[in-house]
Amino acid sequence: QVQLQESGPGLVEPSGTLSLTCAVSRASITTHSWWGWVRQPPGKGLEWIGAIYHGGSTNYNPSLKSRVTMSVDKSNNQVSLKLNSVTAADTAVYYCATNDNYCLEHWGQGTLVTVSS
């Protein structure tokens, strides 16, 4: 079954841009329609950030929409997340997941991003 692996800097400075990549393996990125991102602040619950269709259409959480950009790289079989103007409130474990059928079925292991100077 599909495997997902998030990667990116573990530390981002305040007001900077968080950039993460989700590498997809054991399946083509076109196997699933939508690819989502979810985050979880330490000790807290889950927040859906948004999702991108393999063709490039996006849906973003309205609470983050002004700061989020997602993209698809079919040639490298990966999806990416950018979140700008970050603050300490954006410190969280960030997950990518398949986002079809109104749920999130296959998840990456997650990557912790800390916003701090």
Partner 1 sequence: EIVLTQSPGTLSLSPGERATLSCRASQSVGSSYLAWYQQKPGQAPRLLIYAASSRATGIPDRFSGSGSGTDFTLTISSLEPEDFAVYYCQQYDTSPPVYTFGQGTKLEIK
Residues found near partner 1 in the complex (CB under 8 A): 36, 38, 45-48, 59, 61-62, 95, 97, 99, 101-105, 107-110
Name the residue nearer to partner 1 (CB basis): 38 or 117: 38
Name the residue nearer to partner 1 (CB basis): 46 or 88: 46
Q: How far is the CB of 96 from partner 1 (least distance, A)?
A: 10
Q: How far is the CB of 52 from partner 1 (least distance, A)?
A: 12
What is the Cα–Cα distance from 23 to 7, expressed in whole angstroms? Answer: 8
How many residues can be counted in the chain?
117
Name the residue nearer to partner 1 (CB basis): 10 or 62: 62
The H or E element containing residue 47 is strand 47-53
Name the residue nearer to partner 1 (CB basis): 55 or 62: 62
Q: How far is the CB of 29 from partner 1 (least distance, A)?
A: 19
Q: How far is the CB of 99 from partner 1 (least distance, A)?
A: 8
Cβ-contact 7, 81 below 8 angstroms: no
User: Tokens 């927040």 identify what position?
Assistant: 47
The H or E element containing residue 70 is strand 68-73
Contacts of 57 (CB under 8 A, 6+ apart): none
